[in-house]
Amino acid sequence: MQEQPVPGYTVLHKVGEGGQATVYLAERDHDGLRVALKVLDRRLRNDPVFLERFVREYKLVASIENEYVARIYDQGFSGDNPYIAMEFLPSGTLAGRIHEGLSPRAALRLMMQIARALDAIHSRGIVHRDLKPANILFRPDGRPVIVDFGLAKDLGVRSTLTIAGRLVATPRYMSPEQCQGLPVDARSDLYGLGVIFWEMLTGRRIYEDASPAELITMHVSAPVPRLPESLAGYQPLLDKLLAKRPEDRFQSAADLCGDITL
């Protein structure tokens, strides 16, 4: 019999499993609504830092009403199972679309849509801090949707939710200031978007063969990689997104959107 971790929801199958939580496709019993049911890993349920992050994720995302951010339906505790029920998005991830290949114009259009999502998030004083292709899903109409706010930060709230000696974001997409343990703001997410834009344009990962430790060093000090000649027209945009100093980047997602012509 399929595990039923949360009363009121019938699990259909496991969708994915990460270091902090397991996500199931489930149906809400009282109306049959299909949801993505995110359940905190049982090894972390007694860890106050991870538990508070998990609870805070619901509050942060529930405060954002935007077509490019996943809807949140419910959050609670079932015994010792903290869970979040959110919109189920069955149309794949940006990582999958990058693997299939994107035209430059499709990459630019997607980047613009993700920037609009970031603008909505940042206008609420929230920084995502873990933007990556696996955290961008799609609705059936093709609109990208940002998910997984487990590392997000509310800039209006003082917080000490850190874990000494543990790297919690994804090195491939971390901004230079994040790599150095410095304070981050909206411009850090724009750097992550620049890394994603590189992948969408080239079909390759930035600093492709680097180890996690090497990635951190390269984000801080390596030159912005050069696009092939056929894509050179996008280099100025990429240079500004991937500038090492936050003050040299676009200063907001709205500024970025204003600079793009589709």
Active site residues: 130
Backbone angles phi, psi at 165, to 5 degrees: 75, 5
Longest dimension (CA), the chain: 58
- The single residue listed with the structure tokens 């100025």 is 236
Helices and strands, counts by H and E, the chain? 8, 9
Question: 10 Å Cβ neighbour count for 248?
Answer: 12
**193 in Cβ contact with 111 (< 8 Å):** yes
Q: Are 252 and 122 in contact (CB under 8 A)?
A: yes
Instruction: Name the β-bridge partners of 77.
Output: 82
Q: Are strands 34-40 and 136-138 parallel, antiparallel or unpaired?
A: unpaired
The DSSP bridge pattern shows strands 72-78 and 81-87 to be antiparallel
Closest CA to 191 of 174, 172, 210: 174
